[in-house]
Chain A
C-alpha cells in the first residue's frame, strides 16, 4: 500500500510545471485523482481491497466550466485560475474598425475528445536496489517518463531506465499520462520490492486519462466591402482541467494557428488556458490547432455570407502568399500557392457541379446535401524556440557485420516512425532498406531525440538521422576504408575493418537551430515553425431530416507536405486522421457530470466504425522546398485540423443552419430545426447554434 507519504522523491509528475501530485496528499482537484495505491500478487483480490477502502472527503466548491473558471469567484489554481495566457499583436487593430464595411463576430466551441487508442495505458515497473527503477510501457516519450521518475523516486539519471514497448496507438494520449501510471507502478515496486504491472481497463482509461482540450474561440473581424480581412480580434480559451500539464503548449499551438492560412494586416489574439476540476486535458493529435482552426474556418464561411461572396471566393481573397507574414509576423518563404491548392481540391471533389446540383435537389426530399471546404495549415515541429530547448540528439551505429542501427528515442505507435527513419538512414548510406534496423527506445541505449510528438519525427529527427548516417559514411571514407560509389558489400566489409582497428562505429547528430530563425517568447512573435504543411479539404455531406443525422458521403483531402517519404504510410496517416476528425465533428461526445466523464465505455462514447466513414480520397501536392529530410514536413497531425470545419460548413450549405459547436450530434441538428427552444436542456442540448 502506497500513499503520498511513501514517495521517496518529490510528489509530482514532473513535466513543465511540477504542479500535479503523483498522489494527492491533502486535496483532490478532480474526481479521478489518485490518492492511494494498492498492489497484490493476485490482481483479482484487488477489487476486494479497493472495496474495503473508504475515503472521507470534505467538499469544496467545484469549478466545472471555462466560464466559471474565468469568473474567478472560486480559485482552484494559482491566483487567477489561468495556467497560461498569450497575447499576439500584429499591426494596429484599433485602427481597422472604422474602415470596415462589415464587422463579423462569431463564437465557436469544440468539445473534449478521447484519444481512444485501442490498447489502454499499461506499464510494468521493477525496482532493484542496485540498478534502480526500470519501466516497460505503452508510451510515446521515454524521456518524459525518465524525467518524471527521477524526480518522483529521487534517483539519479542512471538509476532510471524506461523502455518503450510496442504501443497499440497513442495519438498524444500516451505523451504525458504514462508518467503518471509509470510513477504509480514504480512507487509500488519500490515499496513491495517486486515487479508491478498496472494495466488500465477501458473504463479506467477513459475516465482518468487525458482528452483533447475543450475550447471556445471568439472572433471579431473587420472586413472590407469585397470580403478582405482588414484585421481582427481573436480570443481563444481552452479548458486545461485540474493541472497545468501540457496546456501551455497546446494553447500555444492553438494560438499560432488561430488565424488560419490567411493574411491578417493586423490582429490581436488573446489566448488563455483555464483550470477546472476535471482530469487534466492533454495532448491529442493536432494539439490545439483543430480547435482554433475549427473556429477560423467556420468564421470564414460566416464572413463570406456577410460580404455576399462565396466560401471559395472569401478564401481566395485572403490566402497568405509568399512574402506575406503570418499573425506572428513570420514571413512565408515557402513557394506556396494556396489558390492553386484550392482550385485543385475543388476540381477533385467536383465542387461546383455538385454544389449546384444539391441546391436544386434540396428543394424536395428528406435528404439535404451540401458541400463544405476548409483551408488550413499545420506547423511542423515544436513551436517557436521549442526545438532549440529540446536540443535533440540522434545516433546511428554500424556493427562489425555492417548492420546499421538507428538510435533514437522517437517511438513507433503506428505512424510509421520505424519505417521512415530506417528508410532515411538507408538512403543516406546507399544501403538497401533491409540493411537498417532501429533500436528499441530504451533510455539506456538510445539518446534523447526528443518526444515523439508535434509531427516532428520525419522532419526534425529524420534530418538528424540523415546527418548521423552521413557521419558514418564520412568516417569510413576519411579513414580510407570506403570509396565513392560503394556497394553494400563494400560497406559491410569496411565497417568490419573499422571496428577491428578503431572500436565502435557510431555517429551522433545534434539539432542545430537554423541561424536565421527568430522567435520572441515574450511577445509571441517571429518564426513560429520551421515549416508549415498546407491543405484544402472538401466534404460532401448529407443531413437526413428523418433522423437529423449527418453523414459524410465523400471526402477529398488535398495537402502539400513537402516530400512524401512513404506514400502508403503517408496516405494512412491522412485517412486515419480524417477518420478521427470525423469522429470529433459528428460522433464523439464526452458527457460530463461533476467533472467526471460518465460515458466512459466504448458502447456509449461513439467512435466511427467501418460502416460510418466515407471514401477518404487522399492527394498530395508538392510545391516548394524546405529543409527536413529530403524536404519532408510533418504530416501526422495535419489531417485532424480540417475535416470538422469542412463538414460543418457542408451542413450549413445543406440546411442553412449556422452551427458553431462540435460535436454536432443529430440531437443538436434536430433542436436547431425546431421553431421553439427546448423546454428543458437534455444531456446533448445544443450549445452555440444560431
Chain B
C-alpha cells in the first residue's frame, strides 16, 4: 500500500470477508464496523456503543473475536474476516442456531450476531466449556433482554451436540 497517503486520501484495502476476496476503497481510519455495514452492506454487524463495551459489533478477524468498532480498517488489510452473514458456512452454526431457538437465547435479537460470534470463538478454543468458561467467554457481549441465562443454556447445548458428533 501507499506508505504515506495524505489526509483525506482513501486507500485500497484487500481482505477476505466470509470467504470471499473483497476490495474496498476507504479512509484508513474508517472503522471496520462502518466498512462492513456501509461499503459491504453487511448489516448483521451492529453498533451498540461504539466504544468496545457492548460486543454487538463483534466479528472474527483471523479467527480472533474483536470489536469491529475499535478496528481501523487498515489493520484488517490482508485479514480474513467472518461476520454473522458468513456464519451459515460454518459447521458450528446449525447447532448454535437450533440451540438459540430451543432455549430462547434470542429476544430482541440485537445482541445475537455478536453473541453467536463470541460463542463460536469460545467453542473453537474450548469445545467443552464449563459454565464459568461460558460466562467469561460472553462477558464482553451485553444483552439487555435475556439476563443471559438462556444464552448460556444455548451455548452449552450446542457444545454438547457438537462434541457428541
Contacts and interface: CB of A to CB of B under 8 A. Distances in A.
Contacts of B54: 118, 602
Nearest to A412: B108
Contact of A118 (B46, B134, B136, B149): B46
Contact of A576 (B53, B139, B141, B146): B146
B104 A118 contact: no
A167 interface: yes
A609 interface: yes
B50 A202 contact: yes
A117 B146 CA distance: 11
B147 A118 contact: no
Interface string A132-172: 00000000000000000000000000000000001111110
Interface in A600-650: 601-603, 607, 609-611, 613, 615-616
Contacts of A119: 46, 48, 108, 110
Interface in B110-165: 110-111, 134-136, 138-152
Contacts of B145: 169, 414, 572, 576
Interface string B7-50: 00000000000000000000000000000000000000010111
B152 to A, nearest CB: 7
Contacts of B140: 609
B51 interface: yes
Interface in A572-586: 572, 575-580
A199 B163 CA distance: 42
A616 to B, nearest CB: 6
Given A119-B46, A168-B110, A568-B104, A611 B144 contact: no
A610 B155 CA distance: 13
B148 A202 contact: no
A434 B77 CA distance: 45
A571 B110 contact: no
B98 interface: no
A340 to B, nearest CB: 26
A118 B47 CA distance: 8
Contact of B108 (A116, A414, A580): A414
B102 interface: yes
Given A609-B142, A610-B135, A579 B103 contact: no
Contact of B109 (A166, A578, A611, A616): A166
Given A571-B150, A603-B51, A117 B108 contact: yes
A574 to B, nearest CB: 8
A416 B108 CA distance: 8
B102 A579 contact: no
A238 B152 CA distance: 37
A616 B147 contact: yes
B68 interface: no
B34 to A, nearest CB: 10
A569 B104 contact: yes
A202 B142 CA distance: 14
Contacts of A443: none
B150 to A, nearest CB: 5
Contacts of B141: 610
A381 to B, nearest CB: 22
A116 B147 contact: no
Contacts of B51: 202, 601-603
B103 A610 contact: no
A413 interface: yes
A202 B146 contact: no
B139 A168 contact: no
Nearest to A167: B108
B83 interface: no
A414 B106 CA distance: 8
B130 to A, nearest CB: 14
Contacts of A117: 108, 110, 144
B107 interface: yes
Contacts of A575: 146-150
A201 interface: yes
B25 to A, nearest CB: 16
B107 A610 contact: no
A283 to B, nearest CB: 15
A613 B111 contact: no
A169 B136 CA distance: 24
A121 interface: no
Given A202-B51, A610-B135, A168 B149 contact: no
B139 A611 contact: yes
B57 to A, nearest CB: 11
Given A575-B150, A611-B139, A201 B108 contact: no
Given A118-B142, A118-B144, A575-B147, A602 B104 contact: no
B81 to A, nearest CB: 22
Interface in B47-71: 48-51, 53-54, 56
Interface of A: 115-120, 166-171, 201-202, 413-416, 568-569, 571-572, 575-580, 601-603, 607, 609-611, 613, 615-616
Given A167-B108, A571-B150, A578-B147, 7 more contacts: A118-B48, A170-B108, A414-B109, A571-B104, A576-B107, A576-B144, A576-B146
12 contacts: A118-B144, A169-B110, A416-B107, A568-B103, A571-B104, A575-B146, A575-B150, A577-B147, A578-B147, A609-B140, A610-B134, A611-B139
6 pairs of A and B residues whose beta carbons are closest in the complex: A168-B110, A414-B108, A579-B147, A414-B107, A575-B147, A602-B53
